[in-house]
Structure 1
Amino acid sequence: MPQPAQSKHWWKEAVAYQIYPRSFADSNGDGIGDIPGIIEKLDHVAALGIDVIWLSPHFDSPNADNGYDIRDYRKVMAEFGTMADFDRLLAEIKKRGMRLVIDLVVNHSSDEHEWFVESRSSRDSAKRDYYIWRDGSKGVPNNFVSYFGGSAWEKDDATGDYYLHYFAKKQPDLNWDNEKVRAEVYDLMRFWLDKGVSGFRMDVIPFISKNFAFPDLTEEEMKDPGRVYASGPRLHEYLQEMNREVLSHYDCMTVGEAAGVSDAQTPLFVDEARNELNMIFNFAVVMLDRDGWRWKPRKLTDMKATFDRLDKAVGMTGWNTVFLGNHDQPRTVSHFGDPSPEYRAISAKALATMMLTMRGTPFIYQGEEIGMVNYPFTDLDQFDDIEVRGLRQDHVETGKVSAAELLENLNKVSRDHARTPMQWDASKNAGFTTAEKPWLAVNPNYPEINAAAAQADQGSVYHHYRKLIALRHDTPALIYGTYEDLAPDHEMVFAFERKLDDERLIVTINFSRVPVMWKHDGLEGSNVLISNDDRREETLPSEELTLLPWEALVLKVPA
């Protein structure tokens, strides 16, 4: 049976790289990464073969949530540089044959945004309805909780009314039911697209529609309020309007951060016939070992089943993202691999092999390409994250859990692990800054794990990423081919097939420290296109394959 035809787009064929500006490179010695610093390091990114850079928020912000609280959507954060710096960054990215995608944070703004300053000034304000207010005389409107701890409602002194904030109290939620708000958002999107950016990563975009009846969360919903926050009645109406009014007029890429979205709901966002988004970040894989802020054990079989489910959910008319890390997750090697000195590099290569051969657009987070690992936090005071401050207040200061228990879990799950500065070389502060002290501590392992050392070593994690990205670009089956899990019940081996017409590739990865034998019909005579172990022969002599610890292979199967 012939394979169903898929539409072809540049963003399906792209490999993306996420830059978190605050932690990437500091050019002026103030301890904070900036746009000129990014420009200085673009060759490191381009040499990987990257097609698209996703830049985390660079907008003017008071930094209550590290830039996700935007004060001015048309201005660059002073710590990061100027609009002239941004324009130069965009030009330098394009000069290297790459594109730029920026964050769109429009579920909420900063409370210092001129819209909210005006909105809170009085109940009669022309912009009062830009945000979501409820009568303060009736008490807290409902039991909605903030992601950063406490109630999602804040009483405002100016009028005595409550405003809604799913995140920090300095991040009031915008009222998307107000068509003037939507018009403002569409206008700012055109501003950046006309400037030359190639699309948007849309922060918590499923939360923009609200059920204005505001029923209380049930006890079960309290454990995962995102499911409720992502189920507003007009969500898809708004996304289709956004596409119609803005996105359809540009050859751009859109990826929605989809907290609270189930597998079954995914096609509603990404099926091409619906004209909403190109793809979403579904967190089902990265949250398998999470119970709120607590870590819990995860099985490889669960991870494989989740990838399989997500692939089936989008079918041939939708598209997925593939990622294992970002600025909100712990370091990929510590999370899914083996961060021990013996297995760190080979497990990082194994994870890269998996991610860059799956169906969907891969997103690499800065530092993944050199195998950076979690920071060894020893005290809660070392964390910068507003989320940690909320957890400490809600759980430790109330006596519900000990500081030691919270710290033990945060050392596995905290997003501050991903926000420690990029490790460029073995000089002081890993070459990130000339300041005495960077905004967040550098991981003490930087003398061994850094970009300069990785680039100099042809057998490094960095060069393995380069080979994989080149293979992906040259192999249509790794982009448009079907995906099939070949060993769903195996507890140590992840093996899957990518097939397009007559081209058939099999990827096999040993997720353990011990050798594992795996057998599959037709493997004999397969060519080894990529291996993360240089002892592997070029052609498999039989159908029985013994995978060494953390070994990963990409095989081309004979026709």
Structure 2
Amino acid sequence: MRSSWYSDAVIYQLDPRLFADSNEDGWGDLPGITERLHYLRGLGATCVWMLPFYTSPFRDGGYDVSDHLAVDPRLGDLADMAHLLETAEDLGLHVLVELVTQHTSDQHRWFQEARRDRSSPYRDYYIWADEPNDDIQPMFPDVEPRTWTWDEEAQQFYRHAFYSHEPDLALDNPRVRDELYRIVAFWLRMGVSGFRVDAVPMMLERARAARPDTDGQWLVRDLRAAVSGQRTGAVLLGEVDVASDEYAHYFGSDGQGMTMLLDFWSNNHLFLALARGQAEPLERALRNQPAAPDGATYAHWLRNNDELNLVRLSDGERTEVLDTFAPEESMRVYGRGIRRRLAPMLDGDPRRIALAHAVTLSLPGPPVLRYGDEIGMGDDLDRPEREAVRTPMQWSSTPSAGFSDAAPDRFQAPVVTGRYGPEHVNVDEQSVRDGSLLQRVGALVRARLGLSELGRVRPETWDVGVPSVLALRYQVEESSVLLLANLAGEDVVARLPAGEVSVLEAGQARYVDVHVDQDYAAVKADGRIPLAGYGYRWLRRTIDGDAAGSSTSESEENS
């Protein structure tokens, strides 16, 4: 893979409504984010992925957009966005924003015009029918069992794959696609580095409707051309939750499709591996992952803004993960996923949470960190659906979590209470406590930034004789790293393959720790590598006797 800014990126996903409130109104905002960008840079992030900040009723976390070209007044204005982008650039941070054009809010001017008058040019911006049909499946069957809703003013049904207040856009209409390209151009001129593209498979469904003799991928190519023509190096990060053998279509055979794909297939199998305490499911997923074309890559994550959707697993595997990480019905949603944060799923054990991050950070392509996971934030299962994982960032131990000085009843969402409340989980305390989860995750992120091999080649999965150990070897010319992670709670001893042992015994190479979870003895010529329960060791193979890095434990890294 040729080197680009995103090859070695570490992406931090945040929700502008819930990150930091600068004006005491109970809503997070763009100035609040700007004030905290130094924190993200110190963590080691190189890219900020901002969830929707556009004008919206915020009935669906801002994905119900009512104006794609404006900042919601509760979050700031365009001048605030310009200042945020300038500050990010000064800090060496790229910024990705959401491109939500599969649907709009029903409060969008386009839809309001469309419903009033059948002859309006905006009528054909949406999908209408006198008699509905079940041409698509609802995304949230527990809440919206049908995908068509009668509109009394329009005197027709309109289609919505998501919520009934989010009518689907008719992307088969060239005027709607022109609006899409205008939105892209606007934000690129503002200075963003690209877009996370929402619901890409649903967008292509309309592209196929426009050109039934195609697979719809021409829309992805046209979008990529619009982005690349406006700003060199700008990226499209696609939400493409499909079977892994379909990924190649979204990249494009010549790499002129999506720049990056969020790899749902590997994500599902990562959690199956964590549930079993065995590496095999994730190793299998990586082996079956189609190679990305030159200049394209996958992005990996643990949790995001939605449910942990487990549809890429078999029924038996899905049940296994649900029973392990969501044993109560209140923890599940939509008959397919988990509505919990990472830390509660892993029983709040800092070792397991750090290990999960170590695994994600060892995968090929950019890792994505969800805001608050670096400190082990919890969830609020009293909130409906996916809102359980959408709570204010916990900066301090105060009841307001340092998120806002407004009265709590004005907060966009309540602060988590109980075991994961801010008095127990917050940035301030973990910033100064040796061995805290924040310090462990930060050390992992910064160590990963020094391993350029991970952004350039696909790894080999090595059998090291222990089923619980994930072993990924990256080789770029003479440079080689081996990343080990023990998914089980028991101490183990991994063993290098026989061929490597013979090289070590001959004194032709050695393995040197570049990052570890604790102090370990140096790797000896017999190739035995001890690992603690939920431990990890990142090693570099050196052939000249001059180690590429020195052994570092968590305490040394953070002193």
The 1:376–1:489 alpha-carbon spacing in structure 2 relative to 1, beyond 3 Å, is: farther
Q: Does 1:332 align with 2:342?
A: yes
For 2:188 and 2:89, the matched residues in 1 are separated by 14
Q: Does 1:114 align with 2:109?
A: yes
Structure 2 residue matching 1:369: 3-state secondary structure? coil
- Selected match of 2:282 from 294, 297, 303: 303
- Selected match of 1:469 from 445, 457, 476: 445
- Equivalent residue for 1:495? 471
Structure 1 residue matching 2:111: 3-state secondary structure? helix
Letter in 2 for 1:173: D
Letter in 2 for 1:433: S
Task: Report deviation, 1:36.
Answer: 1.7
- Selected match of 1:530 from 515, 533, 551: 515
For 1:425 and 1:90, the matched residues in 2 are separated by 26
- Could you list the runs of 5+ residues in structure 1 that have no partner in the other structure? 1-5, 215-230, 389-414
The 1:35–1:370 alpha-carbon spacing in structure 2 relative to 1, beyond 3 Å, is: same
- Equivalent residue for 1:186? 181
- Equivalent residue for 1:550? 534
Task: Report deviation, 1:519.
Answer: 1.3
The 1:191–1:328 alpha-carbon spacing in structure 2 relative to 1, beyond 3 Å, is: same
Letter in 1 for 2:406: A
Letter in 2 for 1:56: L
- Equivalent residue for 1:145? 138
Could you tell me whether the CA contact under 8 Å between 2:171 and 2:207 is conserved in 1?
no
Task: Report deviation, 1:321.
Answer: 0.7
Letter in 2 for 1:440: A
Task: Report deviation, 1:443.
Answer: 2.6
Structure 2 residue matching 1:89: 3-state secondary structure? helix
For 1:248 and 1:166, the matched residues in 2 are separated by 31
Could you tell me whether the CA contact under 8 Å between 1:25 and 1:432 is conserved in 2?
yes
RMSD between aligned residues:
2.7
For 2:161 and 2:135, the matched residues in 1 are separated by 13
- Equivalent residue for 1:439? 412
Could you tell me whether the CA contact under 8 Å between 1:240 and 1:274 is conserved in 2?
no
- Equivalent residue for 2:311? none
Alignment of 1:138-537 (within 5 A): 138=131, 140=133, 144-147=137-140, 148-210=143-205, 233-251=214-232, 252-259=234-241, 261-271=242-252, 273-288=254-269, 300-310=279-289, 312-314=290-292, 318-329=296-307, 330-335=340-345, 338-340=346-348, 344-372=349-377, 374-375=378-379, 377=381, 382-384=382-384, 388=385, 415-437=386-408, 438-444=411-417, 445=420, 446-487=422-463, 491-521=467-497, 522=500, 525-533=510-518, 535-537=519-521
The 1:501–1:234 alpha-carbon spacing in structure 2 relative to 1, beyond 3 Å, is: same
Could you tell me whether the CA contact under 8 Å between 1:90 and 1:196 is conserved in 2?
yes
- Equivalent residue for 1:391? none
Map Cα deviations across residues 486-523 of structure 1 (whole Å, 9 max, x no partner): 13995421111111111111111111221122211336
For 2:91 and 2:352, the matched residues in 1 are separated by 30
- Selected match of 1:10 from 5, 12, 24: 5
Structure 2 residue matching 1:255: 3-state secondary structure? strand
Q: How many residues align?
A: 491
The 1:213–1:192 alpha-carbon spacing in structure 2 relative to 1, beyond 3 Å, is: closer
Q: Does 1:63 align with 2:27?
A: no
Could you tell me whether the CA contact under 8 Å between 2:18 and 2:393 is conserved in 1?
yes
Could you tell me whether the CA contact under 8 Å between 2:52 and 2:62 is conserved in 1?
yes
For 1:300 and 1:375, the matched residues in 2 are separated by 27
For 2:459 and 2:437, the matched residues in 1 are separated by 25
For 2:207 and 2:257, the matched residues in 1 are separated by 23
For 1:421 and 1:212, the matched residues in 2 are separated by 38
For 2:182 and 2:229, the matched residues in 1 are separated by 14
Could you tell me whether the CA contact under 8 Å between 1:271 and 1:317 is conserved in 2?
no
Map Cα deviations across residues 323-351 of structure 1 (whole Å, 9 max, x no partner): 1121114423444xx334xxx22222222
Structure 1 residue matching 2:265: 3-state secondary structure? coil
For 1:158 and 1:454, the matched residues in 2 are separated by 55
Could you tell me whether the CA contact under 8 Å between 2:278 and 2:468 is conserved in 1?
no
Could you tell me whether the CA contact under 8 Å between 2:251 and 2:293 is conserved in 1?
no
Letter in 1 for 2:54: F
For 2:63 and 2:475, the matched residues in 1 are separated by 40
Report which stretch shifted further, 58-67 or 515-524: 515-524
Task: Report deviation, 1:17.
Answer: 0.8
Could you tell me whether the CA contact under 8 Å between 2:466 and 2:493 is conserved in 1?
no
Report which stretch shifted further, 69-78 or 535-544: 535-544
Letter in 1 for 2:106: D
For 1:526 and 1:212, the matched residues in 2 are separated by 51
Structure 2 residue matching 1:497: 3-state secondary structure? strand
For 1:540 and 1:420, the matched residues in 2 are separated by 47
The 1:237–1:368 alpha-carbon spacing in structure 2 relative to 1, beyond 3 Å, is: same
- Could you list the runs of 5+ residues in structure 2 that have no partner in the other structure? 308-339, 505-509, 544-559
For 1:468 and 1:272, the matched residues in 2 are separated by 34
Structure 2 residue matching 1:425: 3-state secondary structure? coil
For 2:292 and 2:158, the matched residues in 1 are separated by 36
- Equivalent residue for 1:223? none
Could you tell me whether the CA contact under 8 Å between 1:483 and 1:496 is conserved in 2?
yes
For 2:292 and 2:464, the matched residues in 1 are separated by 19
Map Cα deviations across residues 237-261 of structure 1 (whole Å, 9 max, x no partner): 11111222343431202101112x2
Task: Report deviation, 1:418.
Answer: 2.9
Letter in 2 for 1:309: N
Map Cα deviations across residues 123-142 of structure 1 (whole Å, 9 max, x no partner): 2222111111111xx35565
Could you tell me whether the CA contact under 8 Å between 2:380 and 2:391 is conserved in 1?
no
Structure 1 residue matching 2:369: 3-state secondary structure? strand
Could you tell me whether the CA contact under 8 Å between 2:489 and 2:534 is conserved in 1?
yes
- TM-score normalised over the length of structure 2: 0.81
Could you tell me whether the CA contact under 8 Å between 2:270 and 2:281 is conserved in 1?
no
For 1:258 and 1:489, the matched residues in 2 are separated by 35
For 1:361 and 1:213, the matched residues in 2 are separated by 31
Structure 2 residue matching 1:286: 3-state secondary structure? helix
